[in-house]
Amino acid sequence: MVYSGAIDRIIGRPPPKTGDIVLVADGTEKPIGWGLYNSVSMFCVRLMQLEEEATRDPSCALDMEKLLETRINAAVELRRGLGLPSATTNAYRLVNSEGDRLSGLIVDVFGDLAVVASSAAWVEKYKSKVKACISSIDEINHIHWRPSVEILKEEGMDAADLKELHPSTCPQRTKVIENGISYAISLEGQKTGFYADQRENRMFLSTISYGQRVLDVCCYSGGFALNAAKGGAMSITGTVNVILSDILLGVDTSLPALELARENIALNNLDPEKTSFLREDATVFMKGALSRNDSWDIVILDPPKLAPSR
Q: What is the pLDDT of residue 239?
A: 37
Q: Is residue 76 part of a domain?
A: yes
* Position 244 confidence tier, pLDDT thresholds 50, 70, 90: very low
Residues 294, 247 share a domain: yes
Lowest average pLDDT, out of 114-118, 222-226, 271-275, 284-288, goes to 271-275
Q: Is residue 308 part of a domain?
A: no
Q: What is the pLDDT of residue 163?
A: 73
Q: Is the pLDDT of residue 174 over 80?
A: yes
Q: Is residue 95 part of a domain?
A: yes
CATH code, 27: 2.30.130
Rg of the chain in Å (alpha carbons): 23
Residues 97, 33 share a domain: no
* Position 166 confidence tier, pLDDT thresholds 50, 70, 90: low
Let me know: does 246 contact 283? Beta carbons within 8 Å. no
CATH code, 137: 3.30.750.80
Lowest average pLDDT, out of 9-13, 31-35, 180-184, 246-250, goes to 246-250
3-class SS at 306? Answer: coil
Residues 263, 154 share a domain: no
Q: Is residue 307 part of a domain?
A: no
Residues 286, 201 share a domain: yes
Stretch 143-165: mean pLDDT: 85
Q: Is residue 310 part of a domain?
A: no
Residues 72, 54 share a domain: no
Q: What is the pLDDT of residue 305?
A: 84
Q: What is the pLDDT of residue 165?
A: 55
Provide the domain count of the chain: 3
**Residue where one domain finishes, among candidates 130, 163, 186:** 186
**Residue where one domain finishes, among candidates 163, 186, 209:** 186
Residues 83, 12 share a domain: no
Q: Is the pLDDT of residue 236 over 50?
A: yes
One-character DSSP codes across 85-144: S-SS--EEEEEEGGGGT-TTEEEEEETTEEEEEE-SHHHHHTHHHHHHHHHTSTT--EEE
Residues 55, 13 share a domain: yes
> What average pLDDT does the chain have?
91
**Residue where one domain finishes, among candidates 186, 206, 225:** 186
The single-letter DSSP state of residue 187 is T
CATH code, 280: 3.40.50.150
Segments forming the whole domain that contains residue 127? 65-186
Residues 29, 109 share a domain: no
Residues 297, 271 share a domain: yes
* Position 240 confidence tier, pLDDT thresholds 50, 70, 90: very low
Lowest average pLDDT, out of 78-87, 247-256, 292-301, goes to 247-256
Q: Is residue 306 part of a domain?
A: no
Q: Is the pLDDT of residue 121 over 90?
A: yes
Residues 179, 141 share a domain: yes
Q: Is the pLDDT of residue 102 over 80?
A: yes
Q: Is residue 181 part of a domain?
A: yes
Backbone angles phi, psi at 178, to 5 degrees: -135, 120
Let me know: does 77 contact 83? Beta carbons within 8 Å. no
